[in-house]
Amino acid sequence: MTKPLVIVESPTKEKTLKKYLGNQYRVASTVGHIKDLPQKEFGIDVENRFAPKYVTVPGKQKVIKALKAAAQDAAEVYLAPDPDREGEAIAFHTADILKKKDGPRFYRILFHEITKKGVQEALAKTESLNENKYKAQQTRRILDRLVGYEVSPILWKKVKYGLSAGRVQSVAVRMICEREREIQAFEPVEYWSVTAHLEGENPPPFAAKLAKKSGKKLTISNEQEASVVLDELKQADFIVDKIVKKTVKRNPYPPFITSKLQQDAIRRLRFSAKKTMSVAQQLYEGLDLGQGEYVGLITYMRTDSTRISAEAANEALDLIRSTFGDDYALDRPRFFKNKNKAQDAHEAIRPTSVYNTPEKVAPYLSKDQLSLYRLIWNRFVASQMAQALIDQQTININAGDYLFTASGSTVKFPGFLALYQSAEEDSEGKGKNGEKIELPELSEGMRLTVNQIEPKQHFTTPPPRYSEASLVKALEENGIGRPSTYAAILSNIKDKGYVALEKGYFHPSELGCIVSDLLVENFPDIFNVDFTAQMENDLDRVEASEADALDVLNRFYQVFESRVEKAADHMHSVKGVGIPTNLSCPSCGKRLHIKVGKNGPFLACEGYPECTYSRNYTRDDKGQIHPVEPAHEAAEGEICDKCGRPMVVKQGKYGDFLACSGYPECKNTRSLNGNMKNAPSTGVKCPQEGCDGELVERKSKRGKIFYGCSRFPNCTYALWDKPVPKPCPLCGAPFLVEKTTKKEGTVLKCINEACGYKE
């Protein structure tokens, strides 16, 4: 018999494990999932208890062959994919392809941290494959397949080919669209504030806000009311009525769970949720800290638990005493209660050793890896530090019948704040521009000097659009998705064009809102926040052996099947009839409808084909529709070289182009090329065979820069990276492309990926 075989899902983790296991074990990796539902067919036998049909993931035949060869003579196979539902599915499918008569014994091992100690503990504590966890993963996969494969074709028929619906992601799009409608419907309300700029016997001067009149909260609605208040204050004496001083104790936050890590990384590091999880995976699986020493720097990064081991907490306390002093250390470790006891399979996200300080590992990490590791390290160590002591002072000032207040705070003892502060704590005690608010020493009964009384007009503001951080928070609070899915949800809704992330905030696309409205109207319970949250709870109960997977699927499908049948017949056809608007056609007077074409939504007359009026459109801040007239001036002097009619500007997938006004009788088109002032040339010839155009800078409909052929629409060659007129010295490719990353900065790479040249 050969050595025992350990199978993980990642080549990086394989490399790290080989270091710890030495020559006593063989190590191989599945490189992710090796089996899944088929890509081009339904793959679920609904009549046969929802039996899934698993097939080999395309491209994994060589991996499976290598795994079988590695396990050929092994008596023991340790299955060690990630310790979550997806990892359990990989373990089950791996065991399934390797099992044979008189074959190896299979053991499940869970690496919560990839360190020497973590690996030894996992091997000493082997488990059986967890069938309930696998059933939970399989049930989720079946649910997602049912929704995707049965709802998406309805959207193809009613709206546009290629659209898709997702059990969870469609709910996220719904939340974003509903927030946009709230913003559009919002009517601002005017109000005024009054600030008194005062000075006591001792510096510095300070500001106080008007709060009450005659003991009741005061609201000033307009300039006239503000003027009355100002007139009355001119005669008033400003006298200190009451000074309240107190010291507040503040406890640190618990170590990160997945959602909180994503939110903090988005706010502080400007990482996307997807990038956060990608970098965290690198830190978990292991990095080379010099001389081939691979070390997993953090514990498993998909967790809902704030639990930490006593050993890790005590190690942190020892470091705090030696680095910060005894005043900053607790007498005994601080532990945190979990909100959901069922989600306690893993510890919180923490460094595998606090002695791997950010400064120590900095030379071996990329900028992104170090930034995220520092965030995780700081939050964990801070969670074991002493409370912060905050001195707070509130001053009440009487001015006749009016009451003004001023408040400020100072840090008496920083405690954990010396290492980690939330955004709120960082801005506490500061003004709007970040300046520190200082209050002078005052005494009750002291008369104050009035330097200025400042009235200011304000308007109430609508609810903010979701950022990535606030959407993750909202998904978490509503029970939508789980830690392992947040990043994928956000990535999917962007990639599918249902939403766009502009200046850090999600804006729904017109198509996104059209699809969302149709899904909510026809599947009111399936794409409902509460219903989706309950399904997530049901999956948790399946994993905990508190619910039967088949019962969960049957209950879902009873509701879902009837909705699908009804929607197939009754869902409104945007592709055909369109969505009515309140606008009249300027050509014939009939109503304009919203339709969806290959280039997105547009306005068209309901009288088509008798009336062929159509326009692109935009919406204003209130959601009102405004047709966009074509830019005829851009086509001035342009005549069709086939029929002699004027050329007009039209919008295509890759930008504007010239088309004959005699369409459909004449279908001649021509590139705007020389007429486009906003299409600077790159000096690179189009590589498409037989094309004599050159690559120019263009802008997509969403405003993103790309580079396309000047012969568009006759040639549709395009790429995102900027082409540079410099041939590859290695393979002779006609040009290089410019790429900029945080890790490498700006580099030139060969357009031929197989070449790999970079400078």
Please state, as a whole number, how many other Cβ atoms lie within 10 Å of the Cβ of residue 735. 19
For residue 541, pLDDT beyond 90: yes
- Whether 476 and 496 share a structural domain: yes
Average pLDDT over residues 101-117: 91
Mapped onto helix, strand or coil, the DSSP state of residue 213 is strand
pLDDT, averaged across the chain = 89
Domain count, the chain: 6
Own/partner pairs for 698-701, CB < 8 Å, 24+ apart? 698/654, 698/655, 699/655, 700/654, 700/655, 701/599, 701/600, 701/651
Residue with tokens 């998406």: 152
Q: How far is CA 45 from CA 52, 54, 302, 563, in A?
A: 6, 11, 31, 19
Q: Under 8 Å CB-to-CB from 524, ≥6 apart: which residues?
A: none
Please state, as a whole number, how many other Cβ atoms lie within 10 Å of the Cβ of residue 175. 20
Classify residue 732: in a domain, yes or no: no
Mapped onto helix, strand or coil, the DSSP state of residue 274 is helix
Classify residue 25: in a domain, yes or no: yes
Angle between helices 486-495 and 468-478 (to 10 degrees): 120
- Whether 109 and 46 share a structural domain: yes
Strands 705-709 and 694-699: antiparallel
Q: Say how far apart CA 577 and CA 608 lie, in whole Å.
A: 10
- Whether 75 and 179 share a structural domain: no
Q: How far is CA 108 from the centre of its chain?
A: 32
pLDDT for 342: 42
pLDDT for 429: 54
Average pLDDT over residues 527-546: 94
Mapped onto helix, strand or coil, the DSSP state of residue 223 is helix
Residue 96, domain CATH: 3.40.50.140
Provide the percentage of residues in the chain whose pLDDT is more than 90. Answer: 68
Q: Say how far apart CA 117 and CA 119 lie, in whole Å.
A: 6
User: What pTM does this model have?
Assistant: 0.80
End-of-domain residue from the set 559, 593, 628: 628
Q: Say how far apart CA 112 and CA 84 lie, in whole Å.
A: 10
Classify residue 221: in a domain, yes or no: yes
For residues 615 and 632, the answer to whether their CB atoms sit within 8 Å is no
Each residue's pLDDT tens digit, 72-86: 889 999 999 999 999
Classify residue 43: in a domain, yes or no: yes
End-of-domain residue from the set 541, 570, 599: 570
- Residue 165 tokens read as 């619906």
- Whether 228 and 316 share a structural domain: no
Q: Say how far apart CA 492 and CA 529 lie, in whole Å.
A: 18
Helices and strands: H and E segment counts in the chain: 18, 34
Active-site annotation, residues = 300
For residues 548 and 50, the answer to whether their CB atoms sit within 8 Å is no
Average pLDDT over residues 700-727: 80
The listed range with the strongest mean pLDDT (424-438, 564-578, 618-632, 666-680) is 564-578
- Whether 350 and 416 share a structural domain: no
Classify residue 742: in a domain, yes or no: no
- Whether 427 and 353 share a structural domain: no
Provide the percentage of residues in the chain whose pLDDT is more than 70. Answer: 92
Each residue's pLDDT tens digit, 331-343: 999 999 876 544 4
Classify residue 753: in a domain, yes or no: no
- Whether 500 and 406 share a structural domain: no
Angle at 362 (CA atoms; ends 359, 365), nearest 5 degrees: 155
- Its domain, for residue 142, covers 138-185+465-570
Each residue's pLDDT tens digit, 445-501: 999 999 999 999 999 999 999 999 999 999 999 999 888 889 999 999 998 899 998
Each residue's pLDDT tens digit, 209-235: 999 999 999 999 999 999 999 999 998
Q: Say how far apart CA 604 and CA 627 lie, in whole Å.
A: 10
End-of-domain residue from the set 92, 111, 129: 129
Each residue's pLDDT tens digit, 399-416: 999 999 999 988 999 999
For residue 178, pLDDT beyond 90: yes
- Whether 91 and 45 share a structural domain: yes
Each residue's pLDDT tens digit, 665-694: 888 887 665 444 446 678 888 888 888 888
Strands 722-724 and 736-741: antiparallel
Q: Under 8 Å CB-to-CB from 380, ≥6 apart: which residues?
A: 255, 256, 308, 312, 316, 348, 349, 350, 351, 354
Give a three-class secondary structure readout of 667-698: CCEECCHHHCCCCCEEEEECCCCCCCCEEEEE
- Residue 303 tokens read as 């967790």
Residue 541, domain CATH: 1.10.460.10
Classify residue 521: in a domain, yes or no: yes
For residue 723, pLDDT beyond 50: yes
Please give the DSSP secondary-structure letter assigned to residue 637: T
Counting Cα atoms < 13 Å in the Cβ hemisphere of 214 gives 2
Write b or e for each residue in 61-87: b if 16 or more Cβ atoms lie within 10 A of its Cβ, otherwise e: eebbeebeebbeebebbbbbbbbbbbb
Give the bridge partners for 71, in sequence order.
none
Q: Say how far apart CA 511 and CA 159 lie, in whole Å.
A: 9
Please give the DSSP secondary-structure letter assigned to residue 20: H
Q: Say how far apart CA 533 and CA 475 lie, in whole Å.
A: 9
Average pLDDT over residues 276-290: 93
- Whether 232 and 314 share a structural domain: no
Strands 294-295 and 105-108: unpaired
Counting Cα atoms < 13 Å in the Cβ hemisphere of 427 gives 6
- Whether 21 and 124 share a structural domain: yes
Classify residue 727: in a domain, yes or no: no
- Whether 172 and 205 share a structural domain: no
pLDDT for 653: 56
- State the DSSP H helix or E strand holding residue 194, giving kind and residue range, or none if neither: strand 190-199
Alpha helices in 243-364 (DSSP H): 258-269, 273-285, 310-323, 358-361
Pick the more confident residue, 690 or 514.
514
Cα distance from N-terminal residue to C-terminal residue, the chain: 49
- Whether 204 and 152 share a structural domain: no
